[in-house]
């Protein structure tokens, strides 16, 4: 596993696109949250004198769910990075060359899977560090740091879900432009259409269990949680079930990707 | 000695197009094995299958008498179809990845870059290379870590005449060192000059295979010339063992029995008072043979 990642690292450490997208994620996520926390961005509307609903959500324990929600949007940068790194292999035909040089097809695949897991893990660590900083400053102390801490684990699951889905799309489509386009279309439009249709015709909101939506449900828009808490909901799906659904989707991506690679010519 | 590569009944189709039909042959250790065929005959498909990047519909193959395939490939240096490298990395850093996958030392990179004449350009990005330089880098990558087998698919693509001669010399030199070389080409000249064994493919069928001498054995021709060509022709008509005679461009082309060698012809002519100005034993060229074989 170490050897696979070491070689994967050789491929990306001198790749400028990798550094640009990774740095955009690392810079923009705290900058955005800093502006929301300090009221420079007002999500309540109403111009300069408007109310900022979210500025109170940066102390413990709300900071985890709040940062997690924004992280779920900014993880797009890393998802696109995964697609680019993977489709590059097809563009350069280095997927073939890696195998010709002595990797098995599964080693090539697992190197990419390991990359997805490591990116997810590092993103989660980064979110955790940002949470300590924002939460510490706004709460004035670190007490209560571990309240609602499961939301950090949710973010790890969400990252795995997004990056795993991105890897699957890249292996399936092979062309970088088309893969990125399809990924964005699905995550922003197609899934919402499907969700709307399914939820309209079912008693339980089963549409929320779609691939990316399942993990989005783990970290909803912070105000939604408050709204949900106030409203008597008829039927909902528990966080445990969303977690299980997310893990199931990750396994499905893994096995579907494996099947695609083993059944096709390279 | 077991064959270094054994191919058994391999077939492969791309949709309705049958790219390979029941191909079987062995590659003996230490030879230079040429896979020859016109464009689209299935050479690259066959090599892609034995290098595990393409899937055969039926059939099997084994390297080194049955070694696990990915371990075997680590001891094979291969160039398939195009030079495949990371465009944004330098030659040196690309070879770092090749060496890491092959589990070879990084220090060998300098040697192979010198061998293919790219040492001075080692820090240039792959995307800045010309076609010939890309091809040289691919050959360099194949040489990394002294492989036991080299698989070269159209190795002289994009090379200038000096480069082609260098590769030919390199192939001979490496073969002398005991490395088995499998080379696919549509350039007959390339194969004829270096190969000891040959397999000829046409539209996915194996026409013939074996040692070059046997596979391409054909009636040799002897060319003769004399100042008085008509008298020479009349004289030779009386010689036993000459099956056919053809006059072309002032040269007599003789097709003889196998026991007739140039020495007998020379003796016969001198005995009849004719001094030859030209006497040449000509093996039927591979090109002629190839054309005969592939043109139905």
pLDDT band at residue B62 under the 50/70/90 scheme: very high
- Per-state percent for chain A, helix, strand, coil, to nearest 5: 80, 0, 20
| Facing residue for B89 by CB, picked from A14, A107, A266 | A14
d(CA B118, CA B135): 11
> Quick check: B96 contacting A, CB < 8 Å?
yes
- Cβ within 8 Å, pair A96-B80: yes
- Residues near A61 by beta carbon (within 8 Å), at least 6 away in sequence: A144, A147, A148, A149
B257 touches chain A (CB under 8 A): no
pLDDT at position A90 = 97
What is the pLDDT confidence band of residue B176, given thresholds at 50, 70 and 90?
Answer: very high
Please give the tally of structural domains in chain A.
Answer: 1
- Is B53 in CB contact (< 8 Å) with chain A? yes
For residues B133-144, give the mean pLDDT.
95
Residue B82 forms contact with A (CB below 8 Å): yes
B57 contacts chain A (CB < 8 A): no
Report whether A3 contacts B97 (CB < 8 A).
no
Among A102-106, B58-62, B107-111, B228-232, where is mean pLDDT lowest? Answer: B228-232
CATH class of segment(s) B5-215: alpha beta
Question: How far, in Å, CA of B95 to CA of B126, rounded?
Answer: 11
Backbone phi, then psi, for B86, in 5-degree steps? -75, 115
Flag whether residue B55 sits within 8 Å of chain A, measured between CB atoms: yes
Cross-chain Cβ contact B73/A101 below 8 Å: yes
- Strands in chain A per DSSP E: none
Query: Measured at the alpha carbon of residue A189, what is the angle toward residues A186 and A192, in degrees to the nearest 5?
Result: 100
Question: What does the alpha-carbon distance between residue A181 and residue A80 come to, in Å, rounded to a whole number?
Answer: 10
Tell me how far apart the alpha carbons of residues B157 and B136 are, in angstroms, rounded to a whole number: 10
Cβ–Cβ under 8 Å, residues B137 and B116:
yes
Report residue B284's pLDDT band, with 50, 70 and 90 as the boundaries.
low
Contact between A134 and A71 (Cβ < 8 Å): no
Distance CA B218, CA B285 (A): 9
Rounded Cα gap, residues B232 and B224, in angstroms = 9
CB atoms within 10 A of CB A13: 11
Q: Which residues of B touch A263 (CB under 8 A)?
A: 55
Task: Give the percent of chain B with pLDDT over 70.
Answer: 97
Residue A186 belongs to a domain: yes
Q: Chain B interface, mutation test: which of A102, A103, A106, most B Cβ atoms within 10 Å?
A: A102
In the beta sheet, which residues pair with residue B78? B151
- pLDDT > 80? residue B287: no
Chain B's closest residue to A6, CA to CA, is B100
| CA B278 vs CA B192, B220, B265, B269, B273: distances in Å | 25, 16, 12, 12, 15
CATH 3.30.365.10 fits B221-294, yes or no: no
Please give the Cα distance from A257 to A163 (Å, whole number).
13
Q: Are B242 and B255 in contact (CB under 8 A)?
A: yes
Search chain A and give the residue with CA nearest B100.
A7
Mean pLDDT of chain B: 89
pLDDT given at position A69: 95
* Res B192: pLDDT: 73
3-state class (DSSP) for residue B185: strand
**What is the distance between the alpha carbons of residues A149 and A135, in angstroms, rounded to a whole number?**
12
Q: Is B149 on the interface with A (CB under 8 A)?
A: no
Whether chain A has a CB inside 8 Å of the CB on B101: the answer is yes
CA A55/CA A171 separation, integer angstroms: 41
pLDDT band at B119 (very low <50, low <70, confident <90, very high): very high
- Predicted TM-score (pTM) of the model is 0.87
User: Does the distance separating the beta carbons of B48 and A265 come in below 8 Å?
Assistant: yes
Q: Which one is predicted more confidently, B186 or B107? A: B107
Contact call for B53 and A100, based on CB within 8 A: yes
Domain extent at residue A78: 2-16+59-263
Q: Is residue B30 over pLDDT 70?
A: yes
Tell me the C-alpha to C-alpha distance, in Å, between residue A48 and each of A33, A35, A223, B164. Answer: 18, 13, 21, 73
Distance (Å, whole) CA B126 – CA B88: 7
Q: What is the pLDDT of residue B166?
A: 86
In a domain, A221, yes or no: yes
Pairs of residues, one from chain A and one from chain B, whose beta carbons lie less than 8 Å apart: 76
Q: What does the pLDDT read at residue A265?
A: 93
HSE at residue A31, side-chain half, CA atoms within 13 A, is: 7
- CB pair distance less than 8 Å for B73 and A11: no
Token digits of residue A257: 């990707």
Report ipTM (2 d.p.): 0.91
Q: Report domain extents, chain B.
A: 5-215, 221-294
Low-confidence ranges of chain A (pLDDT < 70): 44-53, 225-235
**CB of B70 within 8 Å of any CB in chain A?**
yes
Segment B154-158 mean pLDDT: 88
Residue B115, Cβ density class (10 Å: 0-12 exposed, 13-18 middle, ≥19 buried): middle
Mean pLDDT to the nearest integer, B117-130 = 95
From chain A, the residues in CB contact with B48 under 8 A are 265
Q: How far is B72 from chain A (nearest CA, A)?
A: 8
The predicted structure's pLDDT at residue A47: 66
């Amino acid at each position: 596993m170490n050897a696979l990642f070491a070689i994967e690292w050789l491929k990306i450490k001198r790749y400028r696109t990798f550094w640009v997208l990774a740095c955009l994620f690392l810079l923009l996520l705290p900058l955005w949250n800093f502006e929301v926390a300090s009221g420079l961005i007002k999500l309540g509307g109403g111009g300069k004198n408007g109310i900022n609903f979210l500025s109170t959500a940066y102390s413990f324990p709300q900071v985890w769910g709040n940062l997690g929600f924004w992280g779920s949007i900014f993880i797009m940068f890393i998802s696109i990075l995964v697609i680019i790194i993977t489709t590059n292999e097809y563009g350069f035909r280095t997927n073939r060359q890696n195998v010709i040089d002595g990797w098995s097809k599964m080693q090539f695949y697992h190197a990419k899977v390991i990359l997805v897991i490591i990116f997810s893990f590092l993103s989660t660590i980064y979110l955790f560090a940002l949470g300590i900083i924002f939460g510490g400053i706004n709460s004035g102390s670190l007490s209560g740091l571990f309240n609602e801490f499961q939301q950090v684990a949710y973010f790890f699951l969400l990252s795995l879900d997004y990056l795993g889905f991105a890897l699957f799309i890249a292996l399936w489509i092979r062309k970088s432009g088309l893969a990125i386009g399809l990924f964005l279309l699905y995550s922003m439009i197609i899934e919402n259409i499907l969700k709307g249709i399914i939820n309209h015709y079912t008693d339980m909101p089963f549409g929320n269990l779609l691939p990316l939506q399942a993990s989005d449900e783990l970290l909803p828009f912070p105000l939604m949680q408050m709204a949900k808490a106030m409203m008597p909901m008829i039927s909902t799906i528990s966080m445990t079930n969303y977690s299980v659904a997310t893990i199931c989707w990750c396994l499905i991506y893994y096995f579907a990707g494996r099947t695609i690679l083993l059944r096709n010519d390279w | 000695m077991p064959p270094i590569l054994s191919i058994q009944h391999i077939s492969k189709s791309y949709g309705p197009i049958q790219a390979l039909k029941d191909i079987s042959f062995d590659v003996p250790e230490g030879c230079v094995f040429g896979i020859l065929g016109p464009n689209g005959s299935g050479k690259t498909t066959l090599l892609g299958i034995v290098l595990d990047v393409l899937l055969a519909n039926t059939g099997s193959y084994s390297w080194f008498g049955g070694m696990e395939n990915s371990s075997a490939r680590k001891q094979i240096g291969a160039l398939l179809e195009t030079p495949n490298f990371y465009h944004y990395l330098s030659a040196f850093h690309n070879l770092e990845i090749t060496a890491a996958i092959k589990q070879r030392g990084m220090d060998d990179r300098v040697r192979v870059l010198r061998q293919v004449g790219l040492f001075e350009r080692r820090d240039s990005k792959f995307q800045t290379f010309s076609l010939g330089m890309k091809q040289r880098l691919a050959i360099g990558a194949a040489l990394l870590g002294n492989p036991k087998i080299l698989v070269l698919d159209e190795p002289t693509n994009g090379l200038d005449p000096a480069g082609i001669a260098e590769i030919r010399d390199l192939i001979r030199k490496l073969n002398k060192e005991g490395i088995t070389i499998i080379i696919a080409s549509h350039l007959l000249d390339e194969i004829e000059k270096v190969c000891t064994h040959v397999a000829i493919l046409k539209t996915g069928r194996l026409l013939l295979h074996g040692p070059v001498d046997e596979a391409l054995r054909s009636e040799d021709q002897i060319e003769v010339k004399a100042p008085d060509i008509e008298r020479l022709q009349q004289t030779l008509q009386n010689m036993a063992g000459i099956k056919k005679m053809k006059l072309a461009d002032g040269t007599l082309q003789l097709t003889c029995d196998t026991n007739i060698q140039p020495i007998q012809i020379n003796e016969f002519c001198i005995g009849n008072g004719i001094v030859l100005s030209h006497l040449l034993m000509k093996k039927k060229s591979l090109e002629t043979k190839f054309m005969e074989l592939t043109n139905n």
